[in-house]
Structure 1
């Protein structure tokens, strides 16, 4: 039962998630299955992008299987540094992700979502991340994502540092500055490049290194800021979900109280109706007794008068 409910929750558009979950929790509680009710109440509402990916996973598992296979091939090519194969697979990745996004959009529209409001950029980022990261791919395959994923490090493996073989035993690192080139003057004397050019090249290299370091530090600072924001947002989401759960529980308790009071009110109304009817019956009996008493008194008077006449 719970698997069917979970499947329905993550296939239906998110705007109906809370109501469907509350109904399922209520049914489980009514059936006395508190464990199932607790598990259902803990399910998180997905974002629209996550819902679209979940819909694709559940409706087109064949495409997700191909995504996982291509993901493994890409990672193998990256590990083995197969440049041509890596470029070919990267092209396949882009084309395949585009096809997945198109299929996901069609499924979402068929499920009742407005095409103009679908965050397909987040869907594409999630599918691309699944190709790059096996953990993300595993999460995607569950069909129960609650938010979109991203993978900032995706891409071809950086080229290794190359060395140039000069024909002898020495190797020159092409990332190092070139050594001064000897030149011969008019007199046949060997001269070197001007020291000023060497200093300028060294200064330029230092500036570039400093710029790269600034960018690295800035990226790291930004990453830490975003991580803090993400942690705060996730904490806020948990608090909001907890508050929602408590509010839903309080609402159900209030509805139960209203039902109980209405039942009590109905019982009191029934008893009042019966009491009113009983009062009517008692009044009728009293009037009958009054008439009978009056008749008896008249009879007594008549008999007494008859006796008086005989005397």
Structure 2
């Protein structure tokens, strides 16, 4: 039974890739607020899947029985290869194509239901499922539902070929002279055929070296890109925290501004009241002075 964190991770890899970073950031923040640093660190290490990887993840998470069917067919195909069963190989190879095609179709339906109108790289999905049939390690990765990129496989390898021999009609001589007299090897390839085979071998080796070189460069570029992505995500989170802090400061400043405006209004009203009181006092002083002058004027000399 999966943990709560496993369920969160499953939801991340089931959702369309466009929202992966935002959803992961929200999950990390939730874990941090809960004081669960281990979960936050685990979530921060998750990588955003490509669209093709997401489609395969949907298939593995929503229809795991189809992925298991694919794995069972892969086992049967490898057994047929080891047993040099040509008829079974032909039948299983045809079946493989049908099963992979059906799984690609099922995965496409799941993805379109989740994200209508999305452009799906179904060729990469097919290549990944084909690779899962050839490589148990890739199959195991597919089963997790947490692929981050599509996989490829050049082919299902070469089936070991038996050494062809022609049995003679001289059993007595075979008993006397041993196995070398019992069989006759088929004619050796001509010099031209050997040269062609050698040329093809050299070309394959050169191609392998070139592909390994490209793989090394691609892996190095991937590591650099992942590092840059991680730095960008960390910077994004830090910037988000700064914005949150500034929002909090702005809210506090706005509260203080509102209080200050109210205080200004109160002080203005107090000033007006004081002005009216002062005016009334001045009028009273004038009236009293005038009355006093009148009285003093009416007194006899």
Secondary structure in 1 matching 2:230: helix
- Asked if 1:83 corresponds to 2:95, the answer is no
- Asked if 1:48 corresponds to 2:60, the answer is no
Q: TM-score, normalised by structure 1?
A: 0.80
C-alpha distance 32-267 of structure 1, shift in aligned 2 (>3 A): farther
Secondary structure in 2 matching 1:172: strand
Alignment of 1:228-243 (within 5 A): 228-243=216-231
Separation in 1, partners of 2:287, 2:117: 94
Alignment of 1:243-262 (within 5 A): 243-262=231-250
Alignment of 1:18-29 (within 5 A): 18-29=21-32
Q: Count how many residue pairs are aligned between Structure 1 and Structure 2.
A: 286
C-alpha distance 67-149 of structure 1, shift in aligned 2 (>3 A): same
C-alpha distance 303-292 of structure 1, shift in aligned 2 (>3 A): same
Q: Is the 8 A contact 1:14 1:47 kept in 2?
A: yes
Aligned counterpart, 1:183 = none
The alpha-carbon deviation at position 308 of structure 1 amounts to 8.1
Secondary structure in 2 matching 1:49: helix
Separation in 1, partners of 2:261, 2:187: 100
The alpha-carbon deviation at position 205 of structure 1 amounts to 4.1
- Structure 2 portions without partners, runs of 5+: none
Aligned counterpart, 1:214 = 202
- Asked if 1:35 corresponds to 2:23, the answer is no
Separation in 1, partners of 2:129, 2:50: 15
Deviations 1:116-165 (A, max 9, x none): x3211111111111111111110000011010111224145232333333
Q: Is the 8 A contact 1:125 1:149 kept in 2?
A: yes
Q: TM-score, normalised by structure 2?
A: 0.83
- Asked if 1:287 corresponds to 2:298, the answer is no
Q: Is the 8 A contact 2:84 2:160 kept in 1?
A: no
